[in-house]
């Protein structure tokens, strides 16, 4: 495994113990509703890349596989699934090099993951590969603001936040989605121009 991947993976191992507590104010303010809305759009065989809080909201009777490259986050997810009595297939895997065959899933989704994937375009290309032709890909991601001052502040603060937490606050994820050669892309702002829902129809 490459050094940049190991570095981010270790950060998530380190914060996995406090991740839920750390995120809880935001969870109450907005994240929960965004997650619940996303769940209504899942169908068929589903893959979640980068797992965590969503397990609590997974709909019943949907076949969901979750992957994460952090042992710590995976352990927490297993505990959450057990506590809630959910049947989920949880696997340790890097989104940039997935073990699944081409065209394995009808729906692939992520929430707040592409801020951390070390090579986001590679990760998005992998999602494109494992998602079926005409399948649906849904991402909820925070991105760099286009507002001059906010964008500048995000750039300045980013190195410290990556160091501490593993997530970049200035990723241009919509641009990355285009760079991964997706064509049918619908983008909605959920919070200002910072949190976006990106829905993609997978044409290959
Ligand atoms: C900010 S957390 C979000 C977790 C969850 N999706 C949520 O909404 O609570 C980012 C997650 O993505 C995972 N992740 C980042 N890069 C990854 C990669 N290349 N492969 C697999 N998981 C990755 C991290 O380990 C972490 O669990």
If one residue of 10, 113, 126 were mutated to test the ligand 1 pocket, choosing by the most ligand atoms within 8 A of its CB, it would be: 113
Instruction: State the distance from the centre of ligand 1 to the C-alpha of 136, rounded, in angstroms.
Output: 19
Domain that holds residue 127: 3-201
As a whole number of angstroms, the distance between CA 169 and CA 204 comes to 30
Name the phi and psi angles at 11, rounded to 5.
Answer: -60, -45
* Strands annotated E in the chain: 45-49, 63-68, 89-92, 105-111, 131-142, 184-191, 195-201
Classify the C-alpha dihedral 39-42-44-45 as positive or negative: negative
**Residue nearest atom 27 in ligand 1 by C-alpha distance:** 50
Q: Is the CB of 72 under 6 A from ligand 1?
A: no
Provide the domain count of the chain: 1
Joined tokens for residue 83: 């506590």
Give the bridge partners for 142, in sequence order: 195
* 204 residues of the chain, pLDDT tens digit each: 788 889 999 999 999 988 888 788 788 778 999 999 999 999 999 999 999 899 999 998 899 999 999 999 999 999 999 999 988 999 999 999 999 999 999 999 999 999 999 999 999 999 999 999 999 999 999 999 999 999 999 999 999 999 988 899 999 999 999 999 999 999 999 999 999 999 999 998
What CATH number should be reported for the domain holding residue 98?
Answer: 3.40.50.150
Calculate how far, in angstroms, residue 181's C-alpha sits from the geometric centre of ligand 1.
Answer: 22
Q: What is the pLDDT of residues 53-77, one digit of tens each?
A: 999 999 988 999 999 999 999 999 9
């Amino acid at each position: 495994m490459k050094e940049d991947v190991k570095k981010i993976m270790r950060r998530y191992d380190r914060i996995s113990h406090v991740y839920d507590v750390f995120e809880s104010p935001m969870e109450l303010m907005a994240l929960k509703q965004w997650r619940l809305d996303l769940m209504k759009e899942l169908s068929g065989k589903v893959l979640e890349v980068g797992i965590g809080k969503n397990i609590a909201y997974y709909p019943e009777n949907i076949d969901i596989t979750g992957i994460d490259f952090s042992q710590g986050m995976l352990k927490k997810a297993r505990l959450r699934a057990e506590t809630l009595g959910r049947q989920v297939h949880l696997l340790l895997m890097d989104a940039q090099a997935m073990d699944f065959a081409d065209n394995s899933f009808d729906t692939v989704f992520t929430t707040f993951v592409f801020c951390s994937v070390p090579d986001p375009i590679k990760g998005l290309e992998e999602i494109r590969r494992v998602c079926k032709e005409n399948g649906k890909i849904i991402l909820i991601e925070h991105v760099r603001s286009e507002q001059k001052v906010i964008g500048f502040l995000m750039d300045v603060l980013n190195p410290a936040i990556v160091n501490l937490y593993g997530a970049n606050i200035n990723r241009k994820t919509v641009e990355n989605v285009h760079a991964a050669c997706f064509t049918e892309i619908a983008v909605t702002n959920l919070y200002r121009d910072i949190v976006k829902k990106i829905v993609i129809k997978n044409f290959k």
